Structure 1
Amino acid sequence: MTDNPRKQAALDYHEKPRPGKLAIAVTKPFTTPAELALAYTPGVAEPVRAIMAEPADAYRYTSKGNLVAVISDGSAVLGLGKAGALASKPVMEGKAVLFKKFADVDVFDIEVESETPEQFIDTVARIGVTFGGINLEDIAAPHCFEIEKALQERLDIPVFHDDQHGTAIIVAAGLLNALELQGKRIEDVRIVCLGAGAAGMASLRLCQALGAARDNMFVIDRAGVIYDDRDNLPDYKAEFARSGDGPRTLSEAMHGADVFIGVSGPGLVDADMIASMAEKPVVFALSNPTPEILPEVAQSVRADLIMATGRSDYPNQVNNVLGFPFIFRGALDVHAKTINQAMHLAAVEALRALAHEPVPRTVLDAYDRESWSFGPDYIIPTPLDPRLIDVVPNAVARAAVESGAARAPYPAHYQDN
């Protein structure tokens, strides 16, 4: 037992009445000798022969088309750092629960003990045939970039690093709406990104795809603003390195900035930095559980800002569960070979547009509100919005078909959505 009630409640939740958060369910009748003969020998030989003749039939006769692997090496677990593969298992099980709960996607969580990226890549590539998609999770930069790229090249199913692209998609959707409310265009704004890891780099790349100018981006790591005069600058940082003169510290970069994206650590931004930003700034302080600056502190010096955090107890929560279950749902439903940028952008637009729609009564009741509408405290949908399962998979599946990433046609049952 522990003296901390919340800690004990979390431990009890995971232990009782049976350990863990997942189980496997049988999906076909299995109560008679005839059904046993169909499920295993001799009946199982027929789908084996069919798949030998036509590998795509694995989507017809097995669970491959609704099965995602959530895979980690435990090198960057939540806010806990390098916890290790085994200790990452509760998080991977949790991710599996979210996939199933929000989008009815089945998941095997897989934790890989590996000493090098090459070992991890080889392990995942060898088991990839089992799945319809792979969600990479909690893998530290820079290895996460190498791992994702290599697996995308070796496998013919979607390989999606959620810490990169899931975060980027939600950030981009919220940012577009915040800029709309502030009367600004993404093509014009000056963006400061604190944190040069997976989430930060992917968010900036997606912002570029939406029109943001690289010359207007300032990326800050532990050594300050990233410039190309540094020694041994890794490729993923060099991509956003600046040249010549300019601000070298976070404080200097924040002066006159329109947008702040924080994917770094707690308390790294102070009120003076927020006060120095341009008129009508947008602040995404996403360090969790403690943001780079608390909303009440930021709002005490800037009444004109729009702010988002990663927390559920403040407005505008940037939560990846708005994306990954529904993105994979759409990708799986068209037997996608990849989740490409067209599908990322489709998810951004679907989420952005949904925030403009009237908020359903079920959402108002869940959050104990009488009213809620598009505005400074509502720039992205909430994770409990029941419309997500219709809107986001629909957009992603259509983009997959139109971009050539799909093996199967746009599903007929999507037509009415």
Structure 2
Amino acid sequence: MYQTQKYAGEIIAAVLDGQTLTDAFNRVWKLEPNLRPQQRGAIQDLGYGTLRHLGLLQRVLESLLNKPMREPELRALLLVSLYQLHFTRAAPYTIVDHAVKVAAHTGAGKGKGLVNAILRNFMRQRNELVGAAERTPLGRWSHPVWWISALQKAYPQQWEAILAAGNQHPPMTLRVNRRRGTLGDYQARLQDAGIAARALDDDSALLLKQPVGVDMLPGFFDGDASVQDWGAQRAAQLLDVRDGMRVLDACAAPGGKTGHILELADVDLTAVDFDAQRLSRVADNLKRLNLTATLKTGDAGSPTGWWDGKLFDRILADVPCSATGVARRHPDIKWLRRPEDFASFARQQAEMLDALWPLVAPGGKLLYATCSIFPAENSEQAAAFAARHADAERLPLNLPGDGQLLPSPEHDGFFYALFSKRPV
């Protein structure tokens, strides 16, 4: 447990200093290549869990301190240890003992007495401290206060459910490859493998009762199924592709939606992403699915660098966004985002939409997609785009809430707006 706490503390300190959780994990894996898979898994559990409940842990820690703690490494170690004491079944005295040992090797080693005292005080006053913390918005919801306020304004009837869903463990959903079998057939194969799942629709989505490793999924490496959130699966379905169409998947990485489009129809698909390394993940996904597309490294907001001049029948514009709809999968997002980020994302999204629209053939369609839950990136962005382009007709979708899917036990948060180009 000593190494687990040590590296988890370093990871939390890095995130609180502005690093993404993925980058923080990768740094530790690179520095410590000999960590066993079980150790990596335990470190990941502590990293995700601490960030998922960070607001509560911060409020508890503040109440245990006589003055603000200036040492970020010790603060992070305490947050991880408080998470272990309150949310895990690990032996309390082992948690404290190992935390003190980590503190002895942190900085000048002067914090071990403080760490010992704080954690033992928490053990004695746990119910009172947690109860007091939960009476504050930050402690109750473990989201930044500005985030809570923004949701209250945008969704006065639903904000509590959205926040509650944002703190849940994310569901694991499969997309059945219709080229290789039916949903019912694959569900039966899962049952034979001892994996419980229920259908979310009549098309391709299966929600697993418990997450499992992909190596346990029947035929996964043969392309029989993919892991993809039900909300994300809506993209290819809404795009309404048909055989022979010319299709663009802008901002394609990591390729989940790319693969789904190709599973639904025989199309001439171009997948673009600005990051060559991420684009290689699209190639890997398509290889597993035995599907092909033209992959191009480039900026979707600047088509002149990669476009061949031929118009597209369908464009999926899955644009960069705040990712606030998938925060339960990436809990660092809650603590890295700032209110001013949304104006920047909105400008980038508008520029990308305006750059891609001329590439749509008359009578063709563009699907605007985000994994955000905030109107500035979603309904407001869609309305502004329609106002700027007289030839853009927004089409109705068989989705609730103006195309806004809010986080729920069955799917993450996504937004979709479908536009048809009126013939000139």
- Is the pair's TM-score, using the shorter chain for normalization, greater than 0.5? no
Structure (1/2) with the larger helix percentage? 2
Q: TM-score, normalised by structure 2?
A: 0.30
